[in-house]
Chain A
Amino acid sequence: MSDVVSEATLRLERLIPSPPELLFALWTEPAQLVRWWAPEGYEASVDDLDTRPGGRWRVTMRRTDGGVVVTSGIYRIVEPPRRLVFTWAWEDESGARGHETEVVVSFEAAPGGTRVVLLQRRFESKQARDNHTVGWSSAFDRLTKIVG
């Protein structure tokens, strides 16, 4: 897990007073997912949601004035009710996918509910990741310091 954290470009954590099983269902059942996925003013619909590893997911969000935003990806790891790993990208109007990233959501039972941790990191091939895990982060940190 520490590798995942050190590689992360984005990390959010919060304690939610609900059981892991419920939260996992909100992420993986289409009827539940559409109720929270889209921002205010958008209506979400699930085009695909196949929670087998390798299965596709795709959610379309329609604004009342006609604007459309699509997010999609592939499930990589599905461990109910503890962990969900999937690729994630925006799609433009032509269906072309933007910068591809990986999202890891974990649900850990904690006193008073569930600790939910969401990591989103840049996506690269497994080979590239194995070769370059060490070093990228420190280069990135130094770059951030110098330009920040």
Chain B
Amino acid sequence: MAAALTPRLDGLFGALADPTRRAIIEQLLAAGELSVGDVAAPFAISAQAISRHLQVLERAGLIERRIERQWRFVRVRADALEPVESWITRHRRHWTAALDRLEALAAAQTPRRRKS
């Protein structure tokens, strides 16, 4: 029921749990596409550390890379949030139906309880 989406979803939530990686995503959303050097510029951490963050974001399906001559570019993937959206849709449907059943059962029990 839920298993197929889980690894990607965990990776995605995990990737976004880190403030530096969130800042990288914000930056890419504002700029569209950036070279790896431009991504690293605002941060006071090593190029190696930036590269590791980019790897995590790429593995999570949040960003994609493009190589043009000697330059490497990164950008946010268009379908980045699809797993989160499916998760929300599926759970909204689940809980809406569950609350319908809860409400019907509560209605059946309410008059009796109120009289007692």
Chain A interface residues (CB < 8 Å from chain B): 9-10, 12, 14, 16-19, 22-23, 26-27, 32, 35-37, 39, 69, 90, 92, 96, 98-99, 116, 118, 120, 122, 124, 128, 131-132, 135-136, 139-140, 142-144, 146-148
Q: How far is the CA of A69 from the CA of B99 in the complex (A)?
A: 18
Q: Determine how close the nearest CB of chain B comes to the CB of A79; give it in whole angstroms.
A: 18
Q: B101 contacts the other chain (Cβ, under 8 Å)?
A: yes
B109 touches A22 (CB 8 A): yes
Q: How large is the interface on B (under 10, 10 to 19, 20 to 34, 35 or more residues)?
A: 35 or more
19 contacts between A and B (CB under 8 A): A10-B91, A16-B103, A17-B110, A18-B103, A18-B106, A18-B113, A35-B105, A69-B1, A118-B99, A120-B91, A122-B13, A124-B13, A135-B22, A139-B25, A142-B26, A142-B29, A143-B25, A143-B76, A147-B76
**Interface of A: prevailing SS:** mixed
Choose the segment among B2-10, B33-41, B46-54, B64-72 that binds chain A (4+ C-beta atoms closer than 8 Å): B2-10
Q: List residues of chain B with CB within 8 A of the CB of A9.
A: 84, 87-88
Q: Which B residue's beta carbon lies closest to that of A118?
A: B95
Complex Cα–Cα for A146 and B80 (A): 10
| A14 to B99 Cα, complex, angstroms | 9
CA distance A97 to B78 in the complex (A): 29
Known contacts A17-B107, A19-B113, A147-B76; is-contact A120 B95 (Cβ 8 Å): yes
Q: Which 6 A-B pairs have the closest CB atoms?
A: A18-B106, A36-B101, A90-B2, A98-B6, A18-B110, A98-B2
Closest Cβ of chain A to B108, distance in Å, is: 9
In the complex, chain B residues 92-116 whose Cβ is within 8 Å of any chain A Cβ: 92, 95-99, 101-107, 109-110, 113-114
